[in-house]
A and B are shown apart, each in its own frame.
Chain A
Amino acid sequence: MKAVAGLTKKRKKFSVPLDYKHGVIDLSHGSGGRAMSQLIEEVFAESFDNEWLAQKNDQACFSIKSGRMVMTTDAYVISPLFFPGGNIGSLAVHGTINDIAMAGAKPLYLSASFILEEGFPLNDLQKIVKSMASSAKESNVSIITGDTKVVERGKGDGIFITTSGVGIVPVGVHLSGNQAKAGDHVLVSGYMGDHGIAILAHRANLEFETTIISDSAPLHHMVASMIEQVPSIRCLRDPTRGGLATVLNEWAEQSDVGFYIEESKVPIRVEVRSACELLGLDAMYIANEGKLVAICPAKDSNLLLGIMREHPLGKNAAIIGEVIADSYNLVQLKTNLGGMRIMDQLTGEQLPRIC
């Protein structure tokens, strides 16, 4: 039989627009059919808007200059999804950009994969995606490929996002956690613990009033000027989960050294200190999303400090201590009181104290 030619006019692609006011994700949004196409086109492609997504392929092809590349991936499963200073979307973009930046690299492209739970409000999804798009734009990176899956109600926590990213490492830059040497100085780019406390303060059943907002921010611009002007930097890392203490313990082991840190020099906001007092937590272990820790030779540390302080994201930077020779790889802390103790790795999650 011959195909019927000439339906009256070109059919409208999707007869009913997505209902952002009351609509929710249902299983059809992950089925591979028309509902999924509509979600992808109207929510994701619309916001992320770039030449690669416009080609509608299952992958994105791009050219690169020769040299070393960096690749990273991170999954974001947080509660609450929206918090003062950001949401899971901006966090998913900043977090992956920062992982690339900590290699001294310039981030270029991201992928984003979404696991959505049946019943998740379209309005929230749109907010999250828009915030990802604007975070990516501000950071000069493009989200060029992605994936969406829908799971049944009760099998997810609203939304999980995984972002992967690639970037280019400038010639001659080689940062790694195994390069710390005794005598080097340790710097942080600002106040520790803001993100973790902002999130905790808004968790159900732990609500307390605070003005602290998350520090979630992309650090690659600051890193670019740091490595350009102080090429001797040996290690960079963003102290996310587990905080400053965890980064130092990881480096101690990687580089087979120890650390001597002065508590009084670590910048921590009064509000964060107070919240930690209240909950029985230690700010040294609280997550950050827009801060970095750096190690460089002692002779360059003041120069590096000056460069970090010139950047808005590093204006409260500080030199907090030094690398020492220690075959036990301990992180030692000189307390405000003048006592000494070690700052060990956490066992599990930090738990609020009982009494």
Chain B
Amino acid sequence: MKYITDFRDNSIARSLASAIEQEADPKRHYKLMEFCGGHTHSIHRYGLPNLLPKNIEMVHGPGCPVCILPIAKINQAIALAQIPNIIFCSYGDMLRVPGSNKMTLLKAKAAGADVKIVYSVDNALQLAQNHPNKKIIFFAIGFETTTPPTACALIKANQLNLRNFFIFCNHVLTPPALEALLQQEKGSVGLDGFIGPAHVSIIIGSRSYELIGQKYQKPIVISGFEPLDLLHSILLLVKQLNENDCKVENQYTRAVNSAGNQKSQQIMQETLEIRPLFEWRGLGAIPYSALKINKQYERFDAEKNFVIPETAGHEHKGCECANVLRGAKKPTECKLFAKVCTPENPLGSCMVSSEGACSAVYSYGRLRN
């Protein structure tokens, strides 16, 4: 815990804030995107925006696993959960994300589907062992951070020869999303640089971003989730921009190295393969941006073992989630924000998860002067 409090030290925060103030060129504007929802959450939870000079603008990126799943996938999850004799396991945040017709996993649960909140895929694996007469489906979502545990579960289920354990795999990849974002943006959003993911980078390593940084001439600073990490990373980004640099810098050196976690990468390769195309909310269909279970492990693949309806999901007409996820709009620029779309009645996914930009701004940031 001491290790954590060190990264929340008030006096260091103030000196970093004044270093940023001194470094920032008052004649220019800095638009920095934090890719990760975890960063968005930290920035608002610690009240960082009012420690930064006015010409440094932080915008949110697509790095919230709950937010980027398209409505069609939520519909499919609900359909799976409603199959008789299934225990459908999901992370808690997913339960409140609305699919079509405002249906949610939570409502499906109230109507009789056996939906359980789990804290990790291990809980689901345990349920499969404890309930041999039931079929257990785990709703696997998330970036590279939550993928290695899914890979582990596949290997373990194989070793245990489980016949009743399945994974609905929706894991997505960070670098292709970052590239798609930059490709689509073409300067329209005016992003100057990126705060790179923390936990994701532990797995994939800092070198994974180098090609993108060079190709699009954008500085990327990989940052820890603590407030001092973030302030330090913002300072490093501002310095790079002032010097017209576009390096991948690693601020989170206590956890991230260049090559990443080899063991995790190896088990992901052993069990999963890259999908040719995957639909993202906000960014559309991105080639080679998600993972599915490979042939060797397909007996655990929910997509291979159950009939999953192909559904079309239509976003709410006024919902700006797609633009918010690309950094093109701020949550407060959405007409629905805090009026009809609130955490109690979320119309878009960004309002549901605590890592969602709209939820973070709603919960922490509605300060009026």
Contact = CB atoms under 8 A, between A and B. Distances in A.
Interface of A: 205-206, 264, 270, 273-274, 277, 280, 328, 330, 332-342, 344, 347-349, 351-355
Contact of B1 (A277, A332, A340): A277
A55 to B, nearest CB: 44
Interface in B316-369: 343-344, 353-355, 362-368
Given A353-B354, A354-B65, A355-B38, A340 B14 contact: no
A354 B51 contact: no
Interface of B: 1, 4, 8, 10, 13-14, 38, 44-51, 65-66, 91-93, 96, 117-119, 123, 126, 141-143, 145-146, 199, 227, 343-344, 353-355, 362-368
A346 to B, nearest CB: 8
B50 A340 contact: yes
A355 B199 contact: yes
Nearest to A343: B364
Q: Pick from A274, A334, A336 the residue with the most CB of B within 10 Å.
A: A336
Contacts of B93: 351, 354
Contact of A330 (B45, B354, B367): B367
A335 B10 CA distance: 9
Contacts of A352: 92, 119
Contacts of A348: 96
Contacts of B354: 280, 351, 353
A351 B352 CA distance: 11
Given A344-B362, A354-B91, A277 B65 contact: no
A334 B367 CA distance: 12
Contacts, number: 96
A331 B269 CA distance: 48
Contacts of B51: 337-339
A337 B367 contact: no
Nearest to B149: A355
B93 to A, nearest CB: 6
A340 B47 contact: yes
30 contacts: A264-B10, A270-B1, A335-B45, A335-B46, A336-B10, A337-B8, A337-B47, A337-B51, A338-B47, A339-B50, A339-B227, A340-B367, A341-B45, A341-B47, A341-B367, A342-B364, A342-B366, A344-B362, A344-B363, A347-B343, A348-B96, A351-B117, A352-B92, A352-B119, A353-B354, A354-B66, A354-B91, A354-B353, A355-B38, A355-B199
Nearest to A275: B1
A333 B143 CA distance: 32
A337 B10 contact: yes
A341 B4 contact: no
Closest 4 CB pairs between A and B?
Answer: A339-B47, A351-B92, A347-B343, A355-B145
Contact of A355 (B1, B14, B146, B343): B146
A102 to B, nearest CB: 27
Given A342-B365, A342-B366, A347-B343, A353 B355 contact: yes
B13 A338 contact: yes
B123 A205 contact: yes
Contacts of B92: 349, 351-352
A355 B142 contact: yes
Contacts of B49: 339
Contacts of B50: 339-340
Contacts of B65: 354-355
A308 to B, nearest CB: 26
A69 B334 CA distance: 50
A334 B8 CA distance: 14
A352 B47 CA distance: 21
Contacts of B355: 353-354
Nearest to B352: A347
B47 A205 contact: no
B119 A206 contact: yes
B46 A341 contact: yes
Contacts of B91: 351, 354
Contact of A339 (B48, B123, B141): B48
A348 B92 CA distance: 11
Contacts of B8: 336-337
A223 B119 CA distance: 39
A279 to B, nearest CB: 8
A64 B119 CA distance: 52
